[in-house]
Amino acid sequence: MRITKDLYRGSLALLTDFYQLTMAYGYWKSGKAEQEVVFNLFFRKHPFHGGFTLAAGLEYVVDYCRNFRFTKDDLEYLRTMKGKEGEQLFEEEFLKYLEQMKFSCDVDAVEEGTAVFPNMPLIRVKGPLIQCQLLETPFLNITNFQTLIATKAARINLAAHGEPILEFGLRRAQGIDGALAASRASYLGGCSSTSNVLAGKLFGIPVSGTHAHSWIMSFETELKAFEAYAEVFPDHCIFLVDTYDTINGIRNAIKVGKILREKGKEMIGIRIDSGDLAYFSNQARIMLDEAGFPDAKVVASGDLDEYLIDSLEGQEASIDIWGVGTKLVTAFDQPALGAVYKLSAVRNENGEWEPKLKLSEQSLKINIPGYHTVKRYYSKGKAVADMIYLEGAKINPRGVVIIDPNDQTKRKRLMPEFYQEENLLIPIFRKGKMVYKLPDLEKIKERANKQIEALDKTHKRFVNPHIYPVGLEENLHHLRMDLVMKAKKFDEENGKS
The CATH number of the domain holding residue 225 is: 3.20.20.70
Region 279-305: mean pLDDT is 97
For residue 203, tell me if it sits in a domain: yes
- Per-residue burial over 195-217, b if 16 or more Cβ lie within 10 Å, else e, is bbebbbebbebebbebbeeebbe
Burial of 127 (0-12, 13-18, 19+ CB in 10 A): buried
Residue range(s) defining the domain that contains residue 307: 157-329
- Using DSSP's 3-state secondary structure scheme, residue 227 falls into helix
- Res 72: pLDDT: 95
Give whole-number Cα distances, 400 to 377, 419, 431, 474, 475, in Å: 11, 12, 33, 8, 10
Q: What whole-number distance in Å separates Cα of residue 15 and Cα of residue 177? A: 13
pLDDT band at 9 (very low <50, low <70, confident <90, very high): low
For residue 229, tell me if it sits in a domain: yes
DSSP string, 67-80: T----HHHHHHHHT
Region 6-10: mean pLDDT is 54
Phi, psi of 307 (to 5 degrees): -70, -45
In this structure, the strands spanning 123-128 and 165-167 are unpaired
pLDDT in tens, 89-116: 999 999 999 999 999 999 999 999 999 9
For residue 125, tell me if it sits in a domain: no
Question: Residue 3: pLDDT above 70?
Answer: no
- Res 6: pLDDT: 47
Q: What whole-number distance in Å separates Cα of residue 216 and Cα of residue 240? A: 8
pLDDT band at 4 (very low <50, low <70, confident <90, very high): very low
Region 226-255: mean pLDDT is 97
Structurally, the chain folds into a number of domains equal to: 1
Question: Residue 215: pLDDT above 60?
Answer: yes
pLDDT in tens, 427-445: 999 999 999 999 999 999 9
For residue 295, tell me if it sits in a domain: yes
- Per-residue burial over 386-400, b if 16 or more Cβ lie within 10 Å, else e, is bbbbbeeeeeeeeeb
For residue 299, tell me if it sits in a domain: yes
- Res 495: pLDDT: 62
Q: Within 124-221, where are the H helices?
A: 129-134, 136-159, 175-189, 197-203, 213-217
In this structure, the strands spanning 433-434 and 426-430 are antiparallel
Helices and strands (H and E) in the chain: how many: 17, 21
For residue 250, tell me if it sits in a domain: yes
In which element (H, E) is residue 41 found? strand 36-42
What share of the chain has pLDDT > 70, as a percent?
A: 96
Q: What whole-number distance in Å separates Cα of residue 181 and Cα of residue 16? A: 18
pLDDT in tens, 354-391: 999 987 766 677 899 999 999 999 999 999 999 999 99
pLDDT in tens, 170-189: 999 999 999 999 999 999 99
Question: Residue 494: pLDDT above 60?
Answer: yes
pLDDT in tens, 116-154: 999 999 999 999 999 999 999 999 999 999 999 999 999
- Res 176: pLDDT: 93
pLDDT band at 490 (very low <50, low <70, confident <90, very high): low
- 173 Cβ neighbours under 8 A, 6+ residues apart: 179, 182, 329, 330
For residue 469, tell me if it sits in a domain: no
Q: What whole-number distance in Å separates Cα of residue 341 and Cα of residue 40? A: 5
Region 9-15: mean pLDDT is 82
Going by C-alpha positions, the residue among 148, 24, 185 that lies closest to residue 94 is 24
DSSP string, 424-450: --EEEEETTEE--PPPPHHHHHHHHHH
Please say whether the beta carbons of 392 and 127 come within 8 A.
no
Which comes out higher in pLDDT, residue 497 or 265? 265
For residue 443, tell me if it sits in a domain: no
**Residues pairing with 340 in the sheet:** 42
